[in-house]
Amino acid sequence: DANDYELTDGRWFPYISYTPGWGGIFKIQAFGINASKSVAVTAGTTYLVVGRWDLDTTLDGTNYMSISVNDVASFGGTSWPFGIAATPTDFNVGGSSRTAPGIIEGLTIYRRPLFDGTYGIDVGNGDEINQIYNSGTGKDPTLVTGSWDVVFALPTNASTGALATGTGNAWSHPHASNLLYTSTINTGGFMMNGTASTDGWAALPGEWWTAGGSTGVVAAYQPIGATDLANSYVNKANPGTYDAAPGVAPTWDATNGWSYNGTTQYLTTGITPANGWSAITRFSNISGDSGALFGTYNYPLGGGFVIYPNVSSKVYYYNPGANAVAPNLTLGVLGVAGSVTYRNGVSDGTMGGSWPASLSSISLGSNTNQDGVRLQYLNGLIQATAFYNTTLTAPQVSAVTTAMQNLGTNDNVSALATAEKIFSGGYKVTSYGTNQGITRSFAATNGGDYVLRALGHSDGTCSPQVKITRADGTTEISHLDGTTTSTRTDPDVYIFTWESPAAESEQVQLINTASSGTCYWHQVEVLANLINNPSMETGAGDPWIPTGWTNTDFIVGDTETESIIKTSGNNSMKWNTTTQNKKLHQDVTVAVGDYINVGFSFYGDGSRGLFSVFTGNNFRPLEQHTTGVTYPGNSLAEWKLVKRVARQNLTPTTRFYVQNDLTASPTYLDDTYAFVLTPVSLTVTPASEANSLESTGLRVDGTDTLTQPITNLTATAGTIKFKFTPRHSFAVADLLGVTSPVIATLY
């Protein structure tokens, strides 16, 4: 039989087929290209078939497609003739025209190519295909991956019988429930718009004053992007020390910074400079003559620390002597570093002079004379200013200048190039100073529990971090660090949980903690978490029990809070007990029939560890279980996230137990999560006479029945004749799930 029989089929979508002829060939194919694998198929034997493809980037350096059968892969397709349609399409399980003569068991579709130990996207699960194959015995894929990245799963674990149109048998990861998603235009955490600001991401200026390795900062003021006027006064390099204060307050807005009127307005700093210091300031809309961006000057002694952007059509610098350079500058960045002056990051000449014996403190938006009197008020805007007690080098001044110029913009943020992507979107951020990046807010509820998953990688210099802060953008709730060694095919995967302290607009910050390098961000999801106090941040008593959890077996000394060995946040739960099967639990409510994704972060003692148990008939994993189930835990002396998908079976309440294995001690429990998955509606096309017609007659298979009335039989006599063509031999038919299948029933 040389026909291609379809296991799956989708219009404008790669499909998987099987050709019995020529020794048996499995193929994944689309648009005339394919990858194929020859396998001698034995009827009644189960095979793991995995088709993978990437439209943008080759899987193995040459080919865009792969087909694996029982964990043995082949690759093919060195080019795409044209792109795959981005619009939604029907996807057929079992094919739409020539359905494969076999049983499809557990179809799962992912948003990325699974990792085979060498090729694919390694999201920290190890060799996913090998684990799912499980030496031929098979394993539910979501015991390896959880629901993350799954767009469709038909686990085929419901009650035996015909599938019906509607929900209840298939699910998808709840992508639309991502709290960082707004619409198909503002895709938020999926980063698919191509413009970060349209996707709701704003630039995080970070410690721009450290750009280029600049050190010795005394104060850094950044009114542009501040949350309010009071926040604009804060010395970001050292809040509470040398904060600016209003003499006569300028007006302010987040887009333009401080606006000075040229007659009365100025800010004080309390900073008295010394010989060899540096200063850099960004400004705009300069009007009039002789206004100082900042300054202090001793007129009797003849020296000071001042910059005027326009005096008689020249820029005047003092540190301590003068350097006057035409033309004037109405917007830009000016600076001094020791005796060298800088215009927009480029040297603008040098100064001489002797440092005066005394100076007043620096004013912003005016000059201050030796008696503390303000004069030479600025008419214009200031966006940022930094003072250093060191002499910055030319490269450092250039770097800080560039960083200042990027404040209030996403100029250092761009969409990922095609070859840099894992998914369909993503952004990269090139840093000019420490803790720069991008941020997006979401509405958190008071006491709300959340789980975050993000994917990103480094260029080898970027030191990535994902941080959750309160609405002020500075008060940290939790964070997780990435690595400089992460790559596109081996990215950092950040999964952690937290509980919101208030109803507020919390921030998700994607940061580079290094002062240079490029961070690549592929996706961020924030989902509501059914687990209360999921990160074990609060608790009480001896034994110490996390808030929201219930003690089942612990006695004094068995548990305590742990602040060193943890995955995220401030604490984890430490188990000291050496008595087997000590446990705690938490109840969650899930609608009957819903699928649910759960995860636990466990840390073992090197030989034994913790594991999770779900009790009663209420909760069932994807395998066909009907009672409480024990899931594998983690015995390694390192953190491991244990994931799986299960289904609420009978009543709406499920009890999650966590317990220890034998005499394991010490062991640790941290970030846990549970969330409901999105039901997918199936359209089931039942067999009919029209769609079962083949060349040898009517096809009757699976649970189908063909009923034919016979009118000439009597109660005592009659003759029955029929002809049928078996699809398989009788010995093989017995292997397909029904013992002694019935050919015909007469009644």
- Give me the residues paired with residue 222 across strands: none
Residues 56 and 94 in one domain: yes
Can the peptide bond before residue 81 be classed as cis, meaning omega within 30 degrees of 0? no
Task: Please report the DSSP string for 410-459 in residue order.
Answer: -TTEEEPPGGG-SSS--EEEE-SSBTEEEEEEEEEPTT-EEEEEEEEEE-
Clarify whether residues 74 and 148 are in a common domain. Answer: yes
Query: For residue 522, what are the CA distances in angstroms to 362, 408, 421?
Result: 45, 23, 7
Residue 22 has pLDDT above 70, yes or no: no
User: 109-123, 208-222, 393-407, 655-669 — which is least confidently predicted?
Assistant: 655-669
CB 441 within 8 Å of CB 483? no
Range from 98-107, 343-352, 408-417 that averages highest in pLDDT: 343-352
Residue type, 728: H
For residues 576 and 559, the answer to whether their CB atoms sit within 8 Å is yes
Measuring CA to CA, which residue among 574, 560, 634, 561 is closest to residue 604? 634
In a domain, 601, yes or no: yes
Q: Which of 494, 528, 562 finishes a domain?
A: 528
- Neighbouring C-alpha atoms within 13 Å toward the C-beta of 602: 25
Residue % of the chain over a pLDDT of 70: 90
Q: Which two tokens stand for residue 237?
A: 């390099």
Q: Are 597 and 677 in contact (CB under 8 A)?
A: yes
Return the CATH number at 516: 2.60.120.260
* 714 falls within a domain: yes
pLDDT at position 417 over 60: yes
Total domains, the chain: 5
Kindly state whether residues 232 and 303 are assigned to the same domain.
yes
Q: pLDDT, tens digit, for every residue of 583-614? A: 899 998 888 888 999 999 999 988 888 877 66
> For residue 245, what is the domain's CATH number?
2.60.120.200
Identify the three-state secondary structure at position 404: helix
Residues 509 and 567 in one domain: no
Among residues 586, 611, 458, the alpha carbon closest in space to that of 530 is found at 586
Q: Specify whether 552 is located in the same domain as 581.
A: yes
| Residues 228 and 362 grouped into a single domain | yes
Which candidate, 149, 119, 66, 145, places its Cα nearest to that of 489? 119
Which tokens in the block code for residue 736? 């397909």
Q: State the CB neighbour count (10 A cutoff) for residue 3.
A: 12
201 and 215 co-located in one domain: no
SS (H, E, C) 347-397: EEEECCCCCCCCCCCCEECCEECCCCCEECCCEEEEEEEEEECCCCCHHHH
Q: Compute, in degrees rounded to 10, the torsion defined by CA atoms 151, 157, 161, 162.
A: 10
Q: What is the pLDDT of residues 296-310, one digit of tens each?
A: 999 999 999 999 999
Q: What percent of the chain has pLDDT over 90?
A: 64
Look at residue 724 and tell me if it is in a domain: yes
Mean pLDDT for the stretch of residues 129-140: 93
Distances 439 to 94, 220, 316, 442, 511 between C-alpha atoms, Å? 44, 21, 38, 10, 8
Q: Is residue 101 part of a domain?
A: yes
Indicate if the pLDDT at residue 312 is higher than 60: yes
- Which residues have CB under 8 Å from 458's CB, separation 6+? 464, 482, 483, 484, 485, 486, 487, 492, 517, 518, 519, 520
Per-residue pLDDT at 257 exceeds 70: yes
Residue 36 within a domain = yes
Specify the range with the lowest mean pLDDT, choosing from 35-39, 151-155, 567-571: 35-39
Q: 561 or 38: which carries more pLDDT confidence?
A: 561
Flag whether pLDDT at 53 surpasses 80.
yes
Q: Rounded to an integer, what distance in angstroms lies between the CA atom of residue 50 and that of residue 106? A: 12
Cis peptide before 621 (omega within 30 of 0): no
312 — alpha (psi -120 to 50), left (phi > 0) or beta? left
First to last CA, the chain: 36
Q: Are 559 and 619 in a shared domain?
A: yes
Are 141 and 234 members of one domain?
Answer: no
Distance CA 97, CA 94 (A): 9
Work out the burial of residue 688: count CB atoms within 10 Å of its CB; fewer than 13 is exposed, 13-18 middle, 19 or more buried: exposed
Residue 606 lies in a domain: yes
pLDDT of residue 626: 47
pLDDT category at 1 given cuts 50, 70, 90 is low
Q: Give the mean model confidence (pLDDT) for residues 155-175.
A: 80
**Is 481 domain-assigned?**
no
Mean pLDDT of the chain: 89
Phi, psi dihedrals of residue 394, rounded to the nearest 5°:
-60, -45
Q: Are residues 545 and 623 in the same domain?
A: yes
The confidence band for 624, taking pLDDT boundaries of 50, 70 and 90, is very low
Instruction: Determine the pLDDT at residue 227.
Output: 84
Is the pLDDT at 742 greater than 90? The verdict is no
pLDDT for res 31? 67
In a domain, 476, yes or no: no
629 in the same domain as 582: yes
Q: Do residue 449 and residue 366 come from a single domain?
A: no
For residue 96, the one-letter residue type is S
- d(CA 458, CA 464) in angstroms, rounded, equals 7
Question: Residue 713 belongs to what domain range?
Answer: 697-747
